[in-house]
Chains A and B, each alone.
Chain A
Amino acid sequence: MKQAYVSVILPFSGEIPSIQEITTLDSALKMTTHEHELILIAIFNSGMINIEIEGLYGPLSIVYTNSISSQNSSRVAAFGRATGDFIIEWQGNIGALTEDAILEMLEPTNKGIELVELESSFQPRSSRIFYKFVNSLRSSKISIRKTVGLVFSRRALGQLLLGSNFEPQINVLCSELSVQRTSRIVPVNFAVNQGFRKRLAEGMSLLAKGSRFGTVIPLALATISALFGIFVTLYALILYLVDGKSPEGWTTLMIVTGLGQASVLALIGMTWSRIDSLSRGLTRSRDATAEVVVFAPEK
């Protein structure tokens, strides 16, 4: 790798890595690569981070993304900034990126491998079962993996960026890349630990992906109607169990009406969603980037 320019991308959604962690990694990259750059992605950060860092061997870019951006689109924004011949995206502990670890990650690329997927040995059993189930439903023979690190060749990352116009999830895109690949298990845990609110925001953002005002309103009304129907059912059931009274006729009527409304509005929403997706094409309207701050190399 002494001939290659390597970009290292580090997403963070909580505390920014310490200056010491960054400079240690910068020094490790200096020893293992020809040239390098560091890119931090500030996911879910509402404001700029006050950081003064000097004396790096390679440039450091901090990519701030819009607060409503999903984690995937934030990662794509950082991928778009990476200029390296090889690109490492690392979601594990930064301290684990030692000289040896970097060399080991990049080693398969010497044999023409263009995508290295690094899985954590600490992946919870529930997560493994989830991905096993997902992969059993996939037609593709290549599995989707929950990775703690990814190593791309420039060509592989280029393919992924082009694909990101059509598919927002990076692990799906990785599984679909037509490049030579390998996977490895590494004894490293994820460094990015999101709180419940952030995970909820991420989930909502993913659900609303591709939605527009016209799509959301019918679906929201359908949800309200369905919830109303369910609560009326519960009310009737509780009334029957506690007081022994049979549900009144209005209750049945409301249940039928509520479910009917839900079905009709859901169909309208789905139809509108179809019309919407057909009419606006597949190009992304806006990048997730809010700001990029660059610290030039000094050594």
Chain B
Amino acid sequence: MLKGCYDRVVVGGGLFGAYSSLILGNLGHTVLLVEQASELMGRASFVNQARLHTGLHYPRSIMTARESLRYYAKFRERFPTAVFDFHQIYAVSKHNSKTSPHDFQSFVNRLGLDFELIDPQRYFNPGTVELALKVEEPTFDAQILRKQILNEIESAGNIELCLDTAVIGGQLSDTVSSLSLSNGSTIETNGIVIATYAGVNSIRQLLGLPNLPLSFELAEIILGSVSPEMKGIGFTVMDGPFWSMMPFGDSGFVSLTSVGITPLRKKQTLPIFNCQNLRTGCTPLKLSNCNSCHVRPASALAHQLQQMKLFLKNQDFFTPSKSLITVKSTLNTAEVDDARPTLIQKESESRTWTIFSGKVSTLFDLEGVLN
């Protein structure tokens, strides 16, 4: 039974929402964390490449790269068991790359990262890759991360979890705001944190706030296994619409993604997709889980595999097991230079913060703001 009054309410139980509740709880606030799914961090926080960015992915946005690198060490220190190291190989494609091999190597030097030059022909077909570097860029294991954060929430004592519950209405005020929940409760609070990622604009609309400049996409991650000789190796082909294959944390799977093909559908402003017309109960405000949905889009596995096989010498090492789909969102400014800025917006007329980020390690930006 909910109390009815909390110092802070965090809407969205993804990684950013869960971590926000921890920060607020540690400050001594009573916190209610509202999540529409039956578990924390089960959507976009779980269905993603799990790349722990060291900045290498952003050769056209040095600010984003430096920002990623800044928090990388902190993430390792804060969640050591969730970090999964392997041999990450960054390769620059010979054709269609937005960054030349020389520019990419200069960029890595500017970031001050260690790397080892490797012969592209060791792994790649002749004429496909011009530069290959072995670098440090691990993945994180979302399950382990969830376990640690959940333990910390439970031991905090002043954070209450409200799962299987959606926000269905609300009233913002500069003193006491109220939220109506799908379980029939009405909550009063001094401050609201919106951290619903793909549902950000839907919640903002519900609370009478203007939309953020976001695009939404149905993104697919292919999970599979690799043959023993390729275990512990990841590939990231740059810079443009290429592909990545990396260990999916400590799960034993590897993930395969392809820029351009991975986002199956793209929409502006709100996550409204054609497949929602084929079923009931999946709306921009309450997005259903695509992985248990009977009208989920067809997989683009064949196209992703074909792209990977164009590059890699070893053609038969990957055995696909399953495909995961989730709704992802990006700030529209990211189209220009591939920057992925974190957005933390405080409303001027109420104690309401909106948090949006596409990168896990920028989690620590929250500490400065919510403190």
A193 in the interface, Cβ–Cβ < 8 Å?
no
In the complex, chain A residues whose CB is within 8 Å of the CB of B261: 59, 294, 296-297
Residues A287 and B97 in contact in the complex (CB < 8 Å), given A83-B310, A84-B306, A158-B127:
yes
In whole angstroms, how far apart are the Cα atoms of A230 and B55 in the complex? 61
In the complex, chain B residues whose CB is within 8 Å of the CB of A287: 94-97
In the complex, chain B residues whose CB is within 8 Å of the CB of A285: 100
Chain A facing B: main interface SS = mixed
A77 in the interface, Cβ–Cβ < 8 Å?
yes
Evaluate contact between A35 and B95: CB separation under 8 angstroms: no
A30 to chain B, nearest CB (A): 12
In the complex, chain B residues whose CB is within 8 Å of the CB of A80: 93-96
Evaluate contact between A296 and B127: CB separation under 8 angstroms: no
In whole angstroms, how far apart are the Cα atoms of A123 and B240 in the complex? 38
A243 in the interface, Cβ–Cβ < 8 Å?
no
In whole angstroms, how far apart are the Cα atoms of A5 and B260 in the complex? 18
Contact residues, A136-182 vs B (CB, 8 A): 158, 161-162
Evaluate contact between B96 and A37: CB separation under 8 angstroms: no
Contact residues, B258-314 vs A (CB, 8 A): 259-265, 297-298, 300, 302-303, 306-307, 309-310
Evaluate contact between B300 and A77: CB separation under 8 angstroms: no
In whole angstroms, how far apart are the Cα atoms of A251 and B307 in the complex? 67
Q: Of A5, A61, A81, A298, which one neighbours B264 at CB under 8 angstroms?
A: A298
In whole angstroms, how far apart are the Cα atoms of A138 and B100 in the complex? 36
B216 to chain A, nearest CB (A): 14
Contact with A along B118-129 (1 / 0, CB 8 A): 000000011100
In the complex, chain A residues whose CB is within 8 Å of the CB of B265: 296, 298
Evaluate contact between A294 and B259: CB separation under 8 angstroms: yes
In the complex, chain A residues whose CB is within 8 Å of the CB of B309: 83
In the complex, chain A residues whose CB is within 8 Å of the CB of B263: 296
Contact with B along A32-57 (1 / 0, CB 8 A): 00010100000000000000000000
Count chain A residues whose beta carbon lies closer than 8 angstroms to a beta carbon of B.
30
In the complex, chain A residues whose CB is within 8 Å of the CB of B307: 83
In the complex, chain B residues whose CB is within 8 Å of the CB of A158: 125-127
By beta carbon, the residue of chain A nearest B242 is A292
Evaluate contact between B94 and A296: CB separation under 8 angstroms: no
A286 in the interface, Cβ–Cβ < 8 Å?
yes
In whole angstroms, how far apart are the Cα atoms of A286 and B96 in the complex? 10
In whole angstroms, how far apart are the Cα atoms of A9 and B93 in the complex? 19
A215 in the interface, Cβ–Cβ < 8 Å?
no
In whole angstroms, how far apart are the Cα atoms of A63 and B126 in the complex? 22
A222 in the interface, Cβ–Cβ < 8 Å?
no
A289 in the interface, Cβ–Cβ < 8 Å?
yes
Evaluate contact between B126 and A286: CB separation under 8 angstroms: no
Evaluate contact between A77 and B306: CB separation under 8 angstroms: no
In the complex, chain B residues whose CB is within 8 Å of the CB of A292: 96, 240-241, 260
B100 to chain A, nearest CB (A): 6
Evaluate contact between A61 and B241: CB separation under 8 angstroms: yes
Residues A59 and B126 in contact in the complex (CB < 8 Å), given A83-B307, A292-B96:
no
In whole angstroms, how far apart are the Cα atoms of A271 and B274 in the complex? 64
Q: Of B240, B260, B264, B303, which one neighbours A35 at CB under 8 angstroms?
A: B303
By beta carbon, the residue of chain B nearest A154 is B310
In whole angstroms, how far apart are the Cα atoms of A292 and B306 in the complex? 18
Contact with A along B176-188 (1 / 0, CB 8 A): 0000000000000
In whole angstroms, how far apart are the Cα atoms of A158 and B125 in the complex? 9
Evaluate contact between B100 and A286: CB separation under 8 angstroms: yes
Evaluate contact between B298 and A299: CB separation under 8 angstroms: yes
By beta carbon, the residue of chain A nearest B103 is A286
In whole angstroms, how far apart are the Cα atoms of A297 and B298 in the complex? 9
* Max count, chain A CB within 10 A of own CB: residue among B95, B98, B125, B300: B95
In the complex, chain A residues whose CB is within 8 Å of the CB of B264: 296-298
Residues A76 and B95 in contact in the complex (CB < 8 Å), given A58-B303, A158-B125:
yes
In whole angstroms, how far apart are the Cα atoms of A218 and B349 in the complex? 69
Evaluate contact between B95 and A81: CB separation under 8 angstroms: yes
A270 to chain B, nearest CB (A): 29
In the complex, chain A residues whose CB is within 8 Å of the CB of B262: 296
A102 to chain B, nearest CB (A): 18
By beta carbon, the residue of chain B nearest A286 is B100
In the complex, chain B residues whose CB is within 8 Å of the CB of A35: 302-303, 306
Residues A81 and B96 in contact in the complex (CB < 8 Å), given A58-B303, A298-B297:
yes
In whole angstroms, how far apart are the Cα atoms of A282 and B309 in the complex? 27
* Max count, chain B CB within 10 A of own CB: residue among A5, A83, A296: A296
By beta carbon, the residue of chain B nearest A34 is B302
A178 to chain B, nearest CB (A): 15
Contact residues, A60-101 vs B (CB, 8 A): 61, 63, 76-77, 79-81, 83-84
A9 to chain B, nearest CB (A): 13
Residues A297 and B95 in contact in the complex (CB < 8 Å), given A162-B126, A292-B240:
no
In the complex, chain B residues whose CB is within 8 Å of the CB of A291: 98
Q: Of B125, B241, B297, which one neighbours A294 at CB under 8 angstroms?
A: B241
Can you spell out 20 A-B residue pairs with CB atoms less than 8 angstroms apart?
A: A35-B306, A58-B303, A59-B260, A61-B260, A63-B96, A80-B94, A80-B95, A83-B303, A83-B306, A83-B309, A83-B310, A158-B125, A158-B126, A161-B95, A286-B100, A287-B95, A287-B97, A294-B241, A294-B259, A298-B298
The 4 closest A-B pairs by CB, nearest first: A80-B95, A294-B260, A289-B96, A83-B310
- Known interface pairs A5-B306, A161-B94, A295-B260; 13 further A-B residue pairs with C-beta atoms within 8 A, sorted by A's residue number: A5-B302, A35-B302, A35-B303, A59-B261, A76-B95, A83-B307, A161-B95, A287-B95, A287-B97, A289-B98, A292-B96, A292-B260, A299-B298
